[in-house]
Amino acid sequence: MDLRYSDEEEAFRAELVEWLDEVLPTVGPPPADQNDWEARRAYDTAWQRMLFDQGYAGINWPKEVGGRGASPAEHLIFLEETERRNAPYVGVMFVALLHAGPTIVTEATPEQKAAHLPAILRGDEVWCQGFSEPQAGSDLASLRTRAVRDGDEYVINGSKIWTSNAQVADYCELLVRTDPDAPKHKGITWLMLPMDTPGIDIRPLRTIAGSDEFSEVFLDDVRVPVANRVGDENDGWRVAMVTFSFERGTAFVSEMLASMQLVEQLAAAAKQITRGSGTAWDDAGLRRDIGQAAADLDALWALVKRNVTQASRTGVPGPGGSVFKLHYSEVRHRLGLLGERVFERAGLAVDDVAGMSNRPHVEGLLHAISISIAAGTTQIQRNIVAERILGLPKDR
């Protein structure tokens, strides 16, 4: 695998950069209130529509479903340049573009693709993920939310938790148990749930960082057409694994690029913060650890390139995404602790102190705590690496 970019790929970069430099000054900053979800939806979907109009929506999706059909290298260039220029984050479009959309591309019927993929690419459909449950977090296969077939509909009862952006979502990618007598990895079905269906109750949850992007979702006799099923009945675990492979394979790439910028900001802050007669940067141990974090992120970026290249051969990311997720979680946690060492007491304050921009690092530290849990815990990732890469016996 050649990790260098070709002349054609650099030409793609130049075209993209020219457009970003032209359009980003007109976009403006995201809503100041992180919990104003209607404003955040309007901002994020407007940016998605701008990408769509310019031909950059679904950049790595196949052309036949409306994507750009870009190569893996072009996809990475797109992520690099949008992150480098602080273009709007995918935001409330996260599940639609990085989980549900790719799963529909891979697993859905032609009618389902036509109904949802264009709307996702235009930013008209926001999705959330209804996988986790109060009694089945990491052990997802133990989910209890039931769906009982009634003619051409499923009747759903149960609850979900840690449902991102549920309060502004149009659809939910929902896992339900359709055969309670089957082994726990069987008898599960993947459904597309319209969030305006009667019987859905959404209750936001407040995180340690003060945001409420997660919710509990309660389902009381919610009726969903059988036509909304993706894949076969009771085959939802396999479909969910496709969703997870996208989540672990590429969904954290933008966040990782942001972490690389965070390392640079930490180094710059350390050179400004006074310690005795010098600065924090005079601490050789601190310089070493910041350098180690930078090196680790560089290595992870090389791993991302390898994973994306491998995914381009099959259309689905492989278990290498779990290797990335494992190491990224560890690096992100160390990066949060490094911020504490650089800012010391100021690192305990959410608001910036003495003109120093410590807030992103405080928020990063709090966020790092959740990274090792989100998208499958570290223990789950270790199981995947053990079973699917090392060939060890499967968990029961």
Which member of 74, 80, 213, 247 is catalytic? Answer: 247
What is the 3 state secondary structure string of the chain? Answer: CCCCCCHHHHHHHHHHHHHHHHHHHHHCCCCCCCCCHHHHHHHHHHHHHHHHHHCCCCCCCCHHHCCCCCCHHHHHHHHHHHHHCCCCCCHHHHHHHHHHHHHHHHHCCHHHHHHHHHHHHHCCCCEEEECCECCECCCHHHCCCEEEEECCEEEEEEEEEEEECHHHCCEEEEEEECCCCCCCCCCEEEEEEECCCCCEEEEEECCCCCCCCEEEEEEEEEEEEHHHEECCCCEHHHHHHHHHHHHHHCCCHHHHHHHHHHHHHHHHHHHHCEECCEEHHHCHHHHHHHHHHHHHHHHHHHHHHHHHHHHHHHCCCCCHHHHHHHHHHHHHHHHHHHHHHHHHHHHHCCCCECCECCHHHHHHHHHHHHHCCCCCCHHHHHHHHHHHHCCCCCCC
Residue (of 349, 345, 364, 350) closest to 266 by Cα position: 364
- 247 a catalytic residue: yes
In the block, residue with structure tokens 């032609």: 110
Catalytic residues: 247
